[in-house]
Amino acid sequence: MKLPRLVVAAPSSGSGKTTVAAVLLAAWRARGRVVQPFKAGPDYIDPTHLARAAGRTPRNLDGWFLDRPELLEVFRRGVKGAAGALVEGVMGLFDGRDALGREGSTAQVARWLDAPVVLVVDARAMAGSIAALARGFRDHDPRLRLAGVVANRVGSERHAQILAEALESVGVPFLGYLPRSPELELPERHLGLVLAGERTLEPEAWARAAATLEVEALWRLARAAPPLDAPAHRLPTGREPLRARIAVARDAAFNFYYPEALELLEQLGAELVPFSPLAGDALPAGADALWIGGGYPELYARELAANRGMLEALRRFEGPVYAECGGLMYLSEALTTPEGRFAMAGLVPGAARMQERPTLGYRHVEALADGPVAKRGWRAKGHAFHYSTRPVVEPAAWRRVDGAEREGYLDGRVHASYTHLYFPAAPELARRFVAAASRGGVR
């Protein structure tokens, strides 16, 4: 496969990768190019900004979740109909699951895609030191090709000129900059950036910012990427006949889903029907199973508690229920936030409460009993990122493979956990969920 592609990386989180990626995507789109965005690592939030800029739904690429053949297949499926691809990195270029960034890092994804890397550097308090920084990142891993640097939060044209001269001294191309400007800053909160639907860059800001980027030079770098192989993979191919209807919670409170995971369920015979725990008071007619993903139930706890019709519909539902993180909080007996304690659905014993420090990281887990997404002993990969806590109640759903920690709740029908599963890493989980939903067929 010959396809222009580029990886946008940085020395660390907070450098401005999302802003630079969004501006570049918007600039290419304005020039008539259809470019598919991707996000390295397990992230639901940054992709919303990339989607707004590119006009296409991003996919996630993670080298710890997937082996290289499966990651390349997710990439190949994602770029259908596109003229190129842009991958926004995660954290710093060499940050991953292990200390050297061998797994789950932006560097790993760039190596597997054989894609040139552009380093976004926060230069607001930097001048000549950018040369040493760039040289270190260029030379750290000879398997990567550092194609150049984009400077972010630059104070003036003179500042940009100094940065360009410093980079020239070490042979690293300067590919433009973004100025220091409030309209180019994306606000953050406890799980990262705000979602694109709440605050994103405006087209006018994109256009002005793109004027200081080497937009065409960056496209030429993307076009220089060599042909990419397509090894045999283990992901399902084709589409199975419809056999189940799965209702998926989709609104401002619940919106953390991987597009490639939803597509996998559809591929395996599921019809996905959205519903809103915030606005609706009934579940979709004929739903065979429920999936309540992550999101921000803590921001809408009062509204969720006030929607007694939906809470009662959840309690009456008799089919399989799968809930992740925010979904677990919603299915608990109560959720305590700084605003108070709010009654939730009560399908899971115990209450959740918000805390100041986050729990986050990859999760390799083993099922402790048979349930709607796994059989006892099955192993799965996912991640956790939450600011709430709740007591572990039996029967627990998962055991950490790399420790004794037990987590989640499973009563055979309801599976609720803080772990966000990545279904493409273990398609048998998605297949089992569809099969559990289809026991009575599509009603």
Taking only the tens place, the pLDDT of each residue in 58-104 is 999 999 999 999 999 999 999 999 999 999 999 999 999 999 899 99
For residue 431, what pLDDT band results from cuts at 50, 70 and 90?
very high
Joined together, the tokens standing for residue 364 give: 């390799």
C-alpha 87/C-alpha 327 separation (Å) is 29
Q: Using CA atoms, how far apart are residues 157 and 294, in angstroms rounded to an integer?
A: 43
What count of residues does the chain have? Answer: 443
138, 172 Cβ separation under 8 angstroms: yes
Cβ atoms < 10 Å from Cβ of 424: 28
Residue 196 clears pLDDT 80, i.e. is over it = no
Tokens 């406890």 — which residue?
190
Taking phi over 0 as left and psi of -120 to 50 as alpha, with beta for the rest, 295 belongs to left
**At 84, which amino acid appears?**
G
- Look up residue 185 and give its two tokens: 């800053």
- Percent of the chain surpassing pLDDT 70: 94
Three-class secondary structure of residue 18 per DSSP: helix
Q: Which residues of 9-27 are buried (b: 16+ CB within 10 A; e: fewer)?
A: bbbeeebbbbbbbbbbbbb
How far is Cα 97 from Cα 136, in angstroms, rounded to an integer? 21
pLDDT value of position 191: 47
Which one of the listed residues 270, 325, 331, 380 is annotated catalytic?
Answer: 325
**pLDDT at residue 395 greater than cutoff 50:** yes
Q: Per-residue confidence at 296, pLDDT binned at 50, 70, 90?
A: very high
Q: Which residues contact 80 (CB under 8 A, 6 or more apart)?
A: none
pLDDT at 169 over 90: yes
d(CA 265, CA 249): 15
Q: How many CB atoms lie within 10 A of CB 137?
A: 23
| CA neighbor of 235 nearest in space, from 191, 209, 268, 277 | 268
Alpha helices (H) in 226-345, listed in sequence order: 259-267, 301-306, 308-316, 326-331
In this structure, are residues 150 and 41 in contact, taking their beta carbons and an 8 Å threshold? no
Picking from 413, 410, 414, the residue whose alpha carbon sits closest to that of residue 399 is 410
For residue 208, name the pLDDT band (cuts at 50, 70, 90): confident
For residues 399 and 395, give the distance between their C-alpha atoms in angstroms, rounded to a whole number. 11
pLDDT in tens, 301-351: 999 999 999 999 999 999 999 999 999 999 999 999 999 999 999 999 999
C-alpha distance from residue 266 to each of 111, 233, 319 (Å)? 31, 19, 18
* Contact status, residue 207 vs residue 181, Cβ threshold 8 Å: no
**Does residue 258 carry a pLDDT above 80?**
yes
Looking at the predicted structure, is the pLDDT value of residue 167 above 50? yes
At 417 the pLDDT is 97
Q: In the annotation, is 325 catalytic? A: yes
Cα Rg of the chain (Å, integer): 22
pLDDT exceeds cutoff 80 at 299: yes
Asked if 421 and 382 count as a contact pair (C-beta separation under 8 A), the reply is yes
pLDDT given at position 190: 46
C-alpha distances out from residue 146 to 135, 137, 142, 320, Å:
9, 8, 9, 48
pLDDT band at 165 (very low <50, low <70, confident <90, very high): very high
Tell me, rounded to whole angstroms, the distance of Cα 29 from its chain centroid: 22
The encoded tokens of residue 370 equal: 């048979």
Q: What is the pLDDT of residue 192?
A: 47
In this predicted structure, the answer to whether residue 183 has a pLDDT above a threshold of 80 is no
Question: What pLDDT is stored for residue 388 in this prediction?
Answer: 95
- Of 337, 305, 88, which Cα lies nearest the Cα of 193? 88
